[in-house]
Amino acid sequence: MAEQPDYYVKSAEKTLAVLLAFDAAHPLLTVTQVAEAITVSRAAARRFLLTLVDLGYLETDGNAFRQTPRVLDIGASYLSGLTLPQVARPHLQSLAVELAETTALCVLDDQDILYVERIAAPRMHSMNVSIGNRLPAWATSMGRVLVAELPEMAREEFLRKTKLTHFTAKTVSSIDELRTELDAVRAQGWSLVAQELDEGLRGLAVPVYRGAQLLGALNVSVQPGRIGSTSITDEMLPLMRRVAQDIADDFGGRTAART
């Protein structure tokens, strides 16, 4: 093996190797698995992993680690090149045209949702958001879908850190009420939030899964009075679930169903 130049920082190489050890086939890794993947001791792997947790690039439930959306900060590759937002865009466009509503794809970043792609409907509601904007996850359909799918410990940690704000008269009023809502969302696999963040908006969201990997949440924003809540779920949910699966399939190829 060629000798490394004097400027070469081995720890930088290993740090990037830790991040690159995570992929679609290995979204969750233990200390032992990372140590084997980058050929370091378990003690060294643990130090790298915990440092990346402290920096916000990884998260852990105490046993396994996973990447967070903060890895987007490392480069523009997530938002340029062949990325999830690029793959999702034509599907979101088709869905927006078919439903005549605004569609979006979001990911969870700490207590917020982050818009990574959005297609606006011809009729714009009062809340104007764009790619890269953040909203409080607890108050949105996308956020509730993503938080509901977290492991129990991570979900409780999210609730512990949540600071409720009274946005409208319909905003959820307590952490216990929010916890009950998240339990229902997890059981049914979708979330409908009606005018809790903005009086001029209802949102329906479903998770986007590739196998066991949660990629994000697909959302449709619906103007109040345009369609009833029952019709929203009856008419839109099957279509949204199909589009969510199409996005996942196009992003990483067809995979086995979630277990």
Q: Are 16 and 90 in a shared domain?
A: no
Q: Are 57 and 82 in a shared domain?
A: no
Q: Are 144 and 123 in a shared domain?
A: yes
Average pLDDT, the chain: 86
Q: Are 14 and 98 in a shared domain?
A: no
| Total structural domains within the chain | 2
CATH of the domain at 26: 1.10.10.10
**CB proximity list for 106: less than 8 A, separation 6 or greater:** 113, 114, 115, 116, 140, 142, 143, 146, 205, 216, 217, 219
pLDDT in tens, 37-77: 999 999 999 999 999 999 999 999 988 999 998 887 765 44
pLDDT: which is higher, 143 or 5: 143
- What pLDDT does residue 230 have? 57
Domain limits for position 52: 10-67
Residue 124: pLDDT over 80: no
Express as a percent the part of the chain with pLDDT over 70. Answer: 86
Tell me whether residue 1 is in a domain. Answer: no
Tell me whether residue 4 is in a domain. Answer: no
Q: Give dist(CA 187, CA 190) in Å, integer.
A: 8
